[in-house]
């Protein structure tokens, strides 16, 4: 099984990235795993968009504590020759946020790229 792994960074207002301890891995069977690279153990695992547990934004147990964002699921490869991961996250006001990853960076946009005509608010930056 091929694993596509990215390092998760956090962006605060001004978009200054802060390194996280967690990696995000997406496999071809549309699972997303968040791995703690210090011991290479699974931290969190989601299989689809409906599998997101309710998490309070003050809960320190979830991996991304930036604007209440929780990483989620439905990652897939659009083209195996040129991997491009597409997955979705939700924030604490229960909206879906589309996140797209290419070979170098991934960006999450509130309301998705289509609705914002390419000018979405970047709330999370992933660095490959």
**Do residues 70 and 89 touch, judged by C-beta distance below 8 A?**
yes
Task: State the pLDDT at residue 16.
Answer: 33
For residues 121 and 128, what is the distance between their CA atoms, to the nearest angstrom? 20
pLDDT digit string, tens, across residues 57-85: 333 333 333 323 334 333 333 444 444 44
pLDDT digit string, tens, across residues 8-52: 333 333 333 334 444 444 444 434 455 544 555 555 554 433 343
- pLDDT: which is higher, 96 or 76: 96
pLDDT digit string, tens, across residues 48-62: 333 434 333 333 333
CA 34, 78, 55: angle at the middle one, nearest 5? 30
**Whole-number average pLDDT of the chain:** 41
Distances from the Cα of 83 to the Cαs of 13, 33, 78, 116, in angstroms?
Answer: 29, 17, 7, 24
Task: State the pLDDT at residue 95.
Answer: 45
The token pair that represents 53 in the structure block = 């547990």
């Amino acid at each position: 099984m091929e694993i596509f792994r990215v390092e998760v960074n956090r962006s605060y207002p001004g978009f200054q990235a802060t390194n996280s301890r967690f990696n995000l891995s997406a496999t071809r069977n549309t699972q997303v795993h968040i791995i703690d690279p210090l011991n290479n153990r699974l931290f969190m695992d989601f299989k689809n968009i409906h599998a997101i547990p309710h998490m309070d934004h003050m809960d320190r147990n979830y991996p991304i504590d930036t604007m209440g964002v929780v990483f989620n699921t439905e990652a897939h490869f659009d083209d195996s020759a040129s991997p491009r991961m597409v997955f979705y996250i939700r924030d604490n006001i229960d909206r879906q946020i589309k996140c797209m990853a290419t070979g170098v960076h991934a960006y999450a946009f509130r309301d998705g790229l289509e609705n914002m005509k390419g000018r979405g608010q970047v709330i999370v930056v992933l660095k490959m």
